[in-house]
Amino acid sequence: MGARGRVPPPLLRLVAWPAPTAYRSPDLARAAGVEPPPLLDPARWGGGDLPEVLRTLRAWTGTTQRRLAAVCGCSPTTVRAWEAGRTTPRAEALRRLEQAFRLPHRALDAAA
């Protein structure tokens, strides 16, 4: 039971809201009884974590590499390279990633 005796919404409803690439707060997940991945917490991000952070954010939001590439204006191959740690997104791509996941400005800089 949630606050005031209400049953928390099922995870499926949280995943479907509000958009496929929207960042879902770890607090929302906990309200639905789901423990979010630790890397959803920007306070845990450190240098070199960007590939794993991107994979986690993409998986958590249910976004495909192809969809993320379209939002960022690059190819799916580029997204795969970022997630594999073979390349690092340039500043403009980092800003587009932050917009895609609705993260605060310069949030991904800590993980790069």
In the chain, domain spans? 3-110
Candidates 3.40.50.1370, 1.10.240.10, 3.10.129.10, 1.10.260.40; correct CATH number of 3-110?
A: 1.10.260.40
User: Is the pLDDT assigned to residue 84 strictly greater than 90?
Assistant: yes
Is the pTM above the cut of 0.85?
Answer: no
- What is the C-alpha separation between 11 and 67, in angstroms, rounded? 22
Q: Record the tokens describing residue 59, joined without a space.
A: 């998986």
Q: Is 13 helix (H, G, I), strand (E, B) or coil?
A: helix
- What is the C-alpha separation between 37 and 26, in angstroms, rounded? 8
User: Is the pLDDT assigned to residue 50 strictly greater than 60?
Assistant: yes
- What is the C-alpha separation between 3 and 95, in angstroms, rounded? 36
Banded model confidence at residue 10, pLDDT cuts 50, 70, 90? very low
pLDDT of residue 47: 93
pLDDT of residue 33: 79
User: Is the pLDDT assigned to residue 92 strictly greater than 80?
Assistant: yes
- What is the C-alpha separation between 6 and 23, in angstroms, rounded? 24
